[in-house]
Structure 1
């Protein structure tokens, strides 16, 4: 679904279907980057953060980017494959000169492209020539989105030149047959198109000052035109759902109520999965509430360089998502689970929001720069999230007592959990994690896990987290600094001088693991009960709210729904295992697009007709949608 590597989720539909402004919440797998191109893109991304993380920029060039297929950093890679000296770039980084870093990094990538093109032209072996052309084109990818945004005609011309260059390198044939010689004249002409553009825009002596670092060509910058480069996440980012996928437990479903009979809840479910409610860049990248909170739980793989210090954490009040909300502190927080949300107020890590509604609005408007949500949107989101329930655990009663299924070590640990300690002011673990109140006390406490920002600061108090389901939400503490529940026990024993023996620590850990366990923590899939079938069922449920919205002629909320669901239907179809049914899913997306188009034209008769057709086609394809 991406228009370029990790410029996620601007979706083109099958059959030339175009949805204006539609963004899907399902990311596409990224193509690996060459080390120096990855370092360059990270430099652009990090260079736009305030305050600028100079240490991270240095690391971008010295270490492999997260998830790289190569265990080598850009500088070591350059030493292996290139004759280019990166000394001037290193000096600029050492001097913390933002403009110089941009200029030297840009020239380095341009020189690498030229270096590989020289090798391609000089190669006698067709296979070698093709390989160097591929390498140079992979390096060109670092500039491609900027060129496409600024000069689409030039981008098209260069794209054709790459094709001509590659096709004119010749072929060694197969077993001596089909041998063709390189067409040197065509190669030279194609190379001239590429190199001429690179030389005039990325290999210049002095770049115009950049307020925002991007891959825009120099001629476009000098023109003074307002050019918007689509936002992108840097190499090493990961916004995919975690695997295995957490099981979602909803209060109404456990009571046998179908979500299609709860249109307010179903619309809130859609909003929770919609990037449309946020502002840019989150919206344009396809980030939704469900990106961080997979199935109401924690996305333990989510990672964005510059915003995350480790997977499963993110700084939502930094410079990237909403500059006006930037607190200028590098303080990423561990993503909290939303299970049992109606029991866990107040909200926010430090309990600063008494109201779930206020907390949710803050996320949309302040953290992610979205427009003010309508009262209906807020009602729907809150109604849906209040249905999140804890995972069932047969080793625990609903009032927090262990059942006979619990191991003996956990029973011993329960006694320790309820034992008052003098070093805790004659309080016990259970004083804060009240077992018959979902292991909560709904208060904030300063346990010493937050370093004071200044002498005398009293900002270390954090909301007491529930212990339910915590076996699956590692790492722990607000900053994810402790990797296991055993580490949590060790931390409390050491910092609070509890005086536990090794055996007692083990028993207390066993108790926490038992309380935090679940019978079925993850979704179970098989050949037909696939992840796509689950997504398909959810999207059809979202769409069912049109039965309520269309009669009300509620254009604003209809369009938000159709744009979200149609884009996701089309995007998710690519994951189907039943390939024969894929065209039918694309056709459903088209029907929703027709509803959207009719509503925009205020043709409510046509909108109703397309919606009726959508429901009929859904019934026809539902069994084959896996």
Structure 2
């Protein structure tokens, strides 16, 4: 009994750490949204972008959100499930009236909640009442975070009202046995709590003008209080790691060197996985460098409505992440791989940064609104990223020539790749993608793949990308407009009039697919070597830099580490297959948090003691938990 209590206490403690402390870079998945609730949340999100993507707002109501469990959009769903018409909302969207769209959409959701509550109270059997209450509560999610942030007392009252509704709908029992009648009086009282709050805050005739669209209650907005609503992504977003997980190839590991013996690299590894180096909303959402560049590669599933035009692409200089850096251009780019980064400069899709250090600072400060990184942080990030290597490929020699293991079609394609074409000014594919320099020339070229913004513009030049590992980084070109390597070959043949035959196109494609292949592109997991075990090893490696930082009394960088790793360790524990060991991992995360707590109070003896305990406990878990 005592063990069960302690286990539950530790789990609760760890949960509190994750919820109240720094946000982990391991985001939590959320429940599906009802169509109209999803459309509303998308409308709020899109309505805060500049310029406002009105076509996307219309689409949010007309079509299912990406990944939706429903086959129809909000308008069709309303048509089949509600007596509330969307005409005022659609008129506001047509007029592109931002404030009117907010008001009509907000009132529509509030009316839908009331409509379902009416159905629950009037239902003639418990099953229908329970379904109506569930639907109403799912719609209430549209407003829940705004109410919780701005009016905690009301949030608790309404939460209790939902519990009362759930428990008072009655039950049909099992085969007639154990049936309980609904308590209409209790249901009506609970419903009144919810409906009165909706009437005062979400069904008003004239909403105060909103600079930022959110689900904050109207009474709070009118009070003038400044409320921090936790950042959130709209329905349809996906910032989770891709599956299968890309294999990370680090130069020092391939040479048999342990990362714990490279404290600067290990700290940079931690920073690469830390949302703490960015500003909000990225920090609050758990977005880190590794969110886009998953294990140095491309996160092909990443998608944020309004900021991505397709999975694996993101507009980092738009309005969402850092409004000050908003270039007001709808120009999301395909996320590039960072493999072999020390060879691939200049940096940025258009090669605008000669220095990786300058590029990295720009990402942190300008693109994601973070504080100015310290010189040590930049040193560490660069030390880590410069260890990224290309995936080994046994069909390719170190100087970029095919080996005998390459298929015959690829060998024929190699000859085409090296053949000068008159249409290319007597240059070949290999003139830019130079085989013995990792298929790079470290130059930017305008090949005609970028639509120019105006006559005479010189903005079409893009940095030559490597061809190594490209089999796993589709789609292609800076905007991800070509889905396959075969499509790339077709584009060059047609746009440059190369005159290739069908067989030559196929051979050249085979060559690109061979150059871009790898022997082991993905991490291999099994019952013993699990995803959590990999994450646990990485996080304890990050923490190992405390052996260097604690003697230096480097509070700033220690706290960045403990805040990041403790939260991530707690979050990743939820993926453990060994359920019995979870409480130990939660307790270990708390131990690391204690190091940070001691440093904050300048108690270095306590910090050293907690760190020593952490190392001992981590070793014990490593032996037992897997």
Q: TM-score, normalised by structure 2?
A: 0.98
Native 8 Å contact 1:275 1:282 kept in 2:
yes
Secondary structure, in 3 states, of the residue corresponding to 1:196?
A: helix
Map of 1:120 onto structure 2: 120
What is the 5 A alignment of 1:479-518?
479-518=479-518
Q: 2:624, 2:119 → 1: CA distance?
A: 51
Map of 1:575 onto structure 2: 575
Q: How many Å apart are 1:625 and its aligned residue? A: 3.7
Native 8 Å contact 2:265 2:381 kept in 1:
yes
Q: How many Å apart are 1:176 and its aligned residue? A: 1.9
Q: 2:441, 2:247 → 1: CA distance?
A: 26
Map of 1:162 onto structure 2: 162
Map of 1:266 onto structure 2: 266
Distance 1:428 1:12, change over 3 A: farther
Native 8 Å contact 1:440 1:464 kept in 2:
yes
Map of 1:222 onto structure 2: 222
Q: 2:52, 2:342 → 1: CA distance?
A: 39
Map of 2:383 onto structure 1: 383
Map of 2:519 onto structure 1: 519
Q: 1:388, 1:481 → 2: CA distance?
A: 26
Q: How many Å apart are 1:20 and its aligned residue? A: 5.8
Map of 1:250 onto structure 2: 250
* 2:279 corresponds to 1:293: no
Q: How many Å apart are 1:623 and its aligned residue? A: 2.9
Q: How many Å apart are 1:13 and its aligned residue? A: 4.4
Native 8 Å contact 1:19 1:593 kept in 2:
no
Map of 1:7 onto structure 2: none
Native 8 Å contact 1:19 1:563 kept in 2:
no
Secondary structure, in 3 states, of the residue corresponding to 1:447?
A: coil
Distance 1:82 1:545, change over 3 A: same
Q: 2:38, 2:256 → 1: CA distance?
A: 49
What is the 5 A alignment of 1:551-570?
551-570=551-570
Map of 1:67 onto structure 2: 67
Q: 1:430, 1:14 → 2: CA distance?
A: 54
Where does the alignment leave 5 or more consecutive residues of structure 1 unmatched? 1-10
Distance 1:320 1:492, change over 3 A: same
What is the 5 A alignment of 1:297-308?
297-308=297-308
Q: How many Å apart are 1:18 and its aligned residue? A: 6.8
Native 8 Å contact 2:313 2:333 kept in 1:
yes
Native 8 Å contact 2:15 2:570 kept in 1:
no
Distance 1:207 1:15, change over 3 A: closer
Q: 2:15, 2:181 → 1: CA distance?
A: 39
Q: 1:336, 1:398 → 2: CA distance?
A: 22
1:129-181 C-alpha deviation (Å, 9 max, x unpaired)? 00100000000000000101110000000000000011000011112221100
Map of 2:83 onto structure 1: 83
Q: How many Å apart are 1:524 and its aligned residue? A: 0.1
Q: 1:33, 1:625 → 2: CA distance?
A: 36
Native 8 Å contact 1:452 1:460 kept in 2:
yes
Report the aligned-residue RMSD: 1.0
Q: 2:508, 2:19 → 1: CA distance?
A: 55
Map of 2:41 onto structure 1: 41
Q: 2:370, 2:28 → 1: CA distance?
A: 23
What is the 5 A alignment of 1:456-471?
456-471=456-471
- Of 174-183 and 30-39, more deviation after overlay is shown by 174-183
Q: How many Å apart are 1:228 and its aligned residue? A: 1.3
1:52-96 C-alpha deviation (Å, 9 max, x unpaired)? 000000000000000000110100000000010100000000000
Q: How many Å apart are 1:203 and its aligned residue? A: 0.7
Q: 1:402, 1:30 → 2: CA distance?
A: 47
What is the 5 A alignment of 1:20-419?
21-419=21-419
1:592-618 C-alpha deviation (Å, 9 max, x unpaired)? 011010000000000000000000101
Q: 1:192, 1:310 → 2: CA distance?
A: 44
- Of 479-488 and 199-208, more deviation after overlay is shown by 199-208
Q: 2:101, 2:22 → 1: CA distance?
A: 35
Q: 2:600, 2:206 → 1: CA distance?
A: 48
Q: 1:15, 1:61 → 2: CA distance?
A: 35
Q: 1:448, 1:16 → 2: CA distance?
A: 53
Map of 2:614 onto structure 1: 614
Native 8 Å contact 2:14 2:589 kept in 1:
no
Q: 1:21, 1:12 → 2: CA distance?
A: 14
1:529-567 C-alpha deviation (Å, 9 max, x unpaired)? 000000000000000000000000000000000000000
Map of 2:3 onto structure 1: none
Structure 1 residue runs of 4 or more that deviate by more than 2 Å after TM superposition: 11-21, 623-626
Distance 1:414 1:16, change over 3 A: closer
Q: 2:207, 2:543 → 1: CA distance?
A: 50
Q: 2:474, 2:247 → 1: CA distance?
A: 16
Q: How many Å apart are 1:624 and its aligned residue? A: 3.5
Native 8 Å contact 1:291 1:299 kept in 2:
yes
Native 8 Å contact 1:576 1:625 kept in 2:
no
Native 8 Å contact 2:113 2:136 kept in 1:
yes
Native 8 Å contact 2:314 2:334 kept in 1:
yes
Q: 1:20, 1:108 → 2: CA distance?
A: 33
Q: 1:380, 1:255 → 2: CA distance?
A: 20
Q: How many Å apart are 1:14 and its aligned residue? A: 2.4
1:380-405 C-alpha deviation (Å, 9 max, x unpaired)? 00000000000000000000000010
Native 8 Å contact 2:18 2:570 kept in 1:
no
Distance 1:515 1:15, change over 3 A: closer
* 2:603 corresponds to 1:603: yes
1:204-262 C-alpha deviation (Å, 9 max, x unpaired)? 11111111000001000000111111110000000000000000000000000000000
Q: 1:286, 1:503 → 2: CA distance?
A: 48
Q: 1:338, 1:363 → 2: CA distance?
A: 14
Native 8 Å contact 1:13 1:570 kept in 2:
no
**Number of aligned residue pairs:** 616
Map of 1:542 onto structure 2: 542
Q: How many Å apart are 1:23 and its aligned residue? A: 1.3
Q: 1:207, 1:624 → 2: CA distance?
A: 58
Q: TM-score, normalised by structure 1?
A: 0.98
Q: 1:16, 1:230 → 2: CA distance?
A: 16
Q: How many Å apart are 1:29 and its aligned residue? A: 1.5
